[in-house]
Structure 1
Amino acid sequence: MSYLPVAGEEWMERTATSRRGRLRRLGLLLAAVLVVAWAGHHLAEAGASWTAAWASISQVGWRWLLLLGTVWLAGLWVHTFVLDASLPGLTHLRALTLNLSGSAVANVLPLGGVAGTVLNLTMVRGWGHTNRDFARFVVVSKVWDVAARLMLPVVAVVALMAAGRLRPWPPWLGVAVLAAVAGALLVAASLGQARPLLRLVTLAERLARGASPGWTGAVAALLDGVDRLVRRRWRPLTAGMAGYCLSEGVLLWLCLTAVGVTVPVPVLLAGLAAARGLTLAALTPGGTGLVETGAVAVLIGLGVDATGALAGVLLFRGLVFAAEIPVGGIAVLLWLAARRRGDRPTPA
């Protein structure tokens, strides 16, 4: 017989679950750090010199930096078309503010995407949108972003095979195809064809018996009403995401060129696919460490000079990751200043 009230039992259960969750996240973070340390050591064994890489970056002139910064900002502006399409009534400037501020918070905290989302929710509500609008905005924008990251590896592998840089049917082609299928399922679900995705979620829920139930219902609730928005706005969503991926590819190519490395387009696609795909493993802030070592390893494996690949990827990440922190911080300060002045929200 239990002597604890039911509410007390529920509280203890929630506390234990929260403690297990924190320990699990800490364990994943520690594992990520160990993987990064191991990978960094092997990059040095492969001939990558960190000292020489930093020296190459330090020699990049101001004209190159100005060009790289311009391309980076242009890519962020192109991405605002995806955000605008995901939230009717959102302006490009506000979309850029959401992107930079959310990224700034997420890039400084382990698993900081939740904190960035909360900040963005506060902003959106202040601009006159509802919680429901924001939930749909997050689902649509994230679905198209994740789908693009999942589909890019198969494009890179096919390009490498066509260029003769990979033997026919390499072993990781299957992994790339599975990732692309997962991305296609996400897009199909956002267009109203959610049954295949929900079946997979139900299967995962049955396999994870020790996990919290209700995954299928939660996914179905998230997708509710999304298809009506996506069917109206799939063109700007697709064009904006394609333009953003292209801008990041151009930025990576320019970063490698700036440090004296020339790579063919298929190899560039492979490096970009690794850099974008590994950000999904958000065990560290923005995938720091995992993204850099993974992208450099892919480039080295495809014949790029080890030190040059390291320098180019570090320069690229300095823009798409590190630069977003101070610039996003400025965006947050400007938003706070406008909020303090009592600017009225724009009806959505």
Structure 2
Amino acid sequence: MSAPPPSLVSDTAPRRRRRRWVRLAVVAVIVVALAVIGLHGRLPAPQDILGALAGANYWWILVAALLQAASIEAFALQQRRLLNSLGAHLTRGHVMAITLAGTALSISMPAGPAVSTAFTIREYQRGGATREASAASAIVSGLASIGGLALLFAGGAVALLSRSPDDFLTWRPLAVVGAMTGLTVVAILAGRRFARRPAQDPAKDGGGRVARALQSVLRSAGDAWRAGAALRAGDWVFALVFATVKWLADLLCLVAVAEALHLRVGVAAMAGIYLSVQIVRQVPLTPGGVGVVETALVAGLTTAGAAAVGATAAVLVYRVLSTWILIPIGGVAAVALRRARERTPTATR
């Protein structure tokens, strides 16, 4: 079979690049449209919001941006450590690009977390990780994320208890934290117990097509658990610490934005609002929680004593830094990953 003419190859590459940028533009338009629809009628007048932003302290907004960058960096470092411990050695830049692209998918698409996880596992495999190591990294990272959030607010609860026991009794989100922690511990213990069982031979799969597919999924999950069980205690501690840093930096980003907009809301109240919103975000009503998260944050801040205009301006700045700006950045990272693959000779893939 003869190779295609050079002119055809040269024409095809620009067309593919144009299609990628068109897809990115379509995703951006859809996200903006969802934001407009979700927030329509729920926010103060635009001129009032612009007035609040004009009086903001932009040094604090710069601090908030740096904290958000630190949050993303902490997650990427966690992923790289887990992959290295599982035998895959990806560069820091490669892992960061995958993290940014996966985050953009997670917050911009329906069923975003599932799509993002599948994308991330596939990219790790393309980078040299085995399927089991890639899946194990995703599983351990998810468990560490829940544990990090629980650890962060458990520390906040201790601080609150030392200051005011009465406030501690009314801080209801702690019940959710306790439940999250319990479920995480049960999942880890059950998974490690399951991982001790011998791997099933694929040749023993029986039944119909659906049964075989289910057995294949369970076998892949078991292989991933076994890979995760091989991690040392230090790797789990590292994953938990960096997950906590990720959540803490994101929380402090919100606190810095509130300071920039001169909101009179205490850090303890801000932490309670933040936790409540993280719980709301787990319900995938809209991609990235567009409309839902903004409304919940504004409601929480105004209930805590902030003016509606200032609270709205703060929430919009926080969401730009933590969510919306990551969509185009992640899109560029995804294009960079694809171009890097295209530049790599076939023999080294």
Query: Same fold by TM (over 0.5)?
Result: yes
**Aligned residue number for residue 338 of structure 1:** 340
Query: How far, CA to CA, are the matches of 1:172 and 1:113 in structure 2?
Result: 23
**Aligned residue number for residue 183 of structure 2:** 182
Q: Which amino acid aligns with 2:237?
A: R
Q: Which amino acid aligns with 1:229?
A: L
Deviations 1:225-278 (A, max 9, x none): 312225341232122112212211221111111112243221121132133333
Deviations 1:2-43 (A, max 9, x none): xxxxxxxxxxxxxxxxxxxxxxxxxxxxxxx9xx96x987xx
**Aligned residue number for residue 24 of structure 2:** none
Q: How does 1:234-273 map to 2 (within 5 A)?
A: 234-273=236-275
The structural deviation recorded for 1:132 is 1.5
- 1:102 is the counterpart of 2:97: no
The structural deviation recorded for 1:117 is 2.9
Conserved? CA contact 1:144–1:187, under 8 Å: no
Conserved? CA contact 2:273–2:301, under 8 Å: yes
Q: How does 1:70-85 map to 2 (within 5 A)?
A: 70-85=66-81
Query: How far, CA to CA, are the matches of 1:264 and 1:76 in structure 2?
Result: 25
Counterparts in 2 of 1:183 and 1:234: CA distance versus 1, 3 Å: same
- 1:49 is the counterpart of 2:49: no
Counterparts in 2 of 1:262 and 1:189: CA distance versus 1, 3 Å: farther
Taking structure 1 as the reference length, the TM-score comes to 0.69
Q: Which amino acid aligns with 1:244?
A: K
Q: Which amino acid aligns with 2:244?
A: A
Query: How far, CA to CA, are the matches of 2:348 and 2:279 in structure 1?
Result: 36
Counterparts in 2 of 1:345 and 1:238: CA distance versus 1, 3 Å: farther
Counterparts in 2 of 1:265 and 1:183: CA distance versus 1, 3 Å: farther
Conserved? CA contact 1:111–1:282, under 8 Å: yes
Counterparts in 2 of 1:85 and 1:245: CA distance versus 1, 3 Å: same
Conserved? CA contact 1:267–1:302, under 8 Å: yes
Deviations 1:64-123 (A, max 9, x none): 554333222222112222111221223322221111001112222111233323332332
Query: How far, CA to CA, are the matches of 1:345 and 1:70 in structure 2?
Result: 40
Q: How many residues align?
A: 289
**Aligned residue number for residue 145 of structure 2:** 145
Q: Which amino acid aligns with 1:177?
A: G
- The CA RMSD over aligned residues, in Å, is 3.6
Taking structure 2 as the reference length, the TM-score comes to 0.69
Which of 70, 75, 82 aligns to 1:86? It is 82
Q: How does 1:106-117 map to 2 (within 5 A)?
A: 106-117=106-117
Which of 293, 297, 300 aligns to 1:298? It is 300
More divergent stretch after superposition (111-120 vs 233-242): 111-120
Deviations 1:308-340 (A, max 9, x none): 222222211111110111111111121122111
Query: How far, CA to CA, are the matches of 1:141 and 1:326 in structure 2?
Result: 24
Counterparts in 2 of 1:127 and 1:321: CA distance versus 1, 3 Å: same
Query: How far, CA to CA, are the matches of 1:346 and 1:62 in structure 2?
Result: 47
Query: How far, CA to CA, are the matches of 1:170 and 1:108 in structure 2?
Result: 32
Question: Percent identity over the alignment?
Answer: 21
Q: How does 1:1-348 map to 2 (within 5 A)?
A: 49=44, 51=46, 52-57=48-53, 60=56, 63-88=59-84, 89-150=89-150, 152=152, 156=156, 159-160=159-160, 162-164=162-164, 166=167, 168-169=169-170, 173-189=174-190, 192=192, 222-229=224-231, 231-342=233-344
Conserved? CA contact 1:83–1:137, under 8 Å: yes
Conserved? CA contact 1:252–1:316, under 8 Å: yes
Conserved? CA contact 2:78–2:242, under 8 Å: yes
Query: How far, CA to CA, are the matches of 2:138 and 2:100 in structure 1?
Result: 15
Structure 1: state its 5+ residue gaps.
1-32, 196-212
Deviations 1:139-176 (A, max 9, x none): 11111113334555555556555544737356655344
Q: Which amino acid aligns with 1:305?
A: A
Secondary structure of the 1:225 match is helix
Secondary structure of the 1:304 match is coil
Counterparts in 2 of 1:142 and 1:343: CA distance versus 1, 3 Å: farther
Conserved? CA contact 1:127–1:345, under 8 Å: no
Counterparts in 2 of 1:291 and 1:139: CA distance versus 1, 3 Å: same
Query: How far, CA to CA, are the matches of 1:120 and 1:169 in structure 2?
Result: 40
